[in-house]
């Protein structure tokens, strides 16, 4: 190898080193986008479809489901089995059992669209795990709602105390009885 060729090779290597350093430094000052899963998790986008779940009514902390079974009938994969009962003092039925066979669910959304009470929605769960397949054959959505209700009860803002009534003004002192036949002077 001639001296000129060796010098060219050293220059090429040095330029390559500078290019690498430039890229490394450029990345070093960029914001970190790596998520340290499972210590950190991403927030799922609004249109993400996890398994369906019962909606927790933010006013009452209960389900809005009336066990009308429209979602059960709408499901093309027969994944849903709903049961309900009319509880004492209620005009409509309430859901008592809601089972989802998530192993057959195609997340098509027919059940969510069929519900007239907006009582089911897609969850944002993307990492549901279990030791056996059976855990997803008959997912108990009523039980899952009960777990969320506990968190809802704990995080609910305390109810405002009833507004205090303004004190009633004292009645004016009674006028002294006028002598008979005398007109009363207006106050």
Q: Which residues would be at the binding site for ligand SF4 (CB under 6 A)?
A: 52, 65-71, 74-75, 77, 79-80, 82, 95, 105-111, 114-115, 117, 119-120
Residues for the chain: how many in total?
Answer: 187
* Cβ proximity to ligand SF4, 86 vs 156, nearer residue: 86
Neighbours of 113 (CB within 10 A): 11
We find the least distance from the C-beta atom of residue 113 to ligand SF4, in angstroms, to be: 8
* Cβ proximity to ligand SF4, 107 vs 128, nearer residue: 107
Cα four-point dihedral sign 81, 48, 114, 58: positive
* Distance between first and last Cα of the chain: 125
Please give the C-alpha separations between residue 139 and each of 18, 27, 132, in angstroms, as whole numbers. Answer: 57, 45, 12
* Cβ proximity to ligand SF4, 9 vs 118, nearer residue: 118
We find the least distance from the C-beta atom of residue 145 to ligand SF4, in angstroms, to be: 11
Please give the C-alpha separations between residue 10 and each of 1, 2, 13, in angstroms, as whole numbers. Answer: 12, 13, 5
Q: Which of 133, 104, 120 shows the shortest CA–CA distance to 57?
A: 120
* Cβ proximity to ligand SF4, 56 vs 80, nearer residue: 80
* Cβ proximity to ligand SF4, 68 vs 145, nearer residue: 68
We find the least distance from the C-beta atom of residue 151 to ligand SF4, in angstroms, to be: 21
* Cβ proximity to ligand SF4, 117 vs 152, nearer residue: 117
Taking the C-alpha atoms of residue 15 and residue 146, their distance in angstroms, rounded to an integer, is: 64
Torsion of CA 88, 90, 93, 96, to 10 degrees: -50
We find the least distance from the C-beta atom of residue 147 to ligand SF4, in angstroms, to be: 18
Sole residue written with tokens 């305390």 = 158
We find the least distance from the C-beta atom of residue 139 to ligand SF4, in angstroms, to be: 10
We find the least distance from the C-beta atom of residue 47 to ligand SF4, in angstroms, to be: 14
């Amino acid at each position: 190898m001639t001296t000129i060729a060796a010098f060219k090779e050293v220059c090429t290597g040095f330029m390559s080193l500078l290019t690498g350093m430039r890229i490394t430094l450029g990345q070093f000052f960029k914001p970190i986008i790596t998520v340290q899963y499972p210590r950190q998790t991403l927030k799922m986008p609004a249109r993400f479809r996890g398994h369906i779940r019962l909606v927790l009514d933010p006013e009452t902390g209960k389900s809005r489901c009336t066990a009308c079974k429209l979602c059960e009938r709408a499901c093309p994969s027969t994944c849903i089995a709903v049961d309900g009962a009319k509880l004492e003092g209620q005009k409509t039925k309430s859901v008592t059992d809601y089972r989802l066979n998530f192993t057959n669910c195609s997340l098509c959304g027919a059940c969510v669209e069929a519900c007239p009470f907006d009582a089911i929605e897609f969850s944002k769960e993307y990492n549901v795990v279990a030791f056996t397949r059976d855990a997803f054959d008959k997912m108990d959505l009523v039980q899952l709602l009960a777990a969320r209700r506990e968190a809802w009860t704990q995080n609910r803002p305390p109810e405002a105390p009833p507004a205090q009534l303004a004190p009633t003004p004292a009645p004016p002192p009674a006028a002294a009885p006028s002598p008979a036949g005398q007109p009363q002077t207006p106050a």
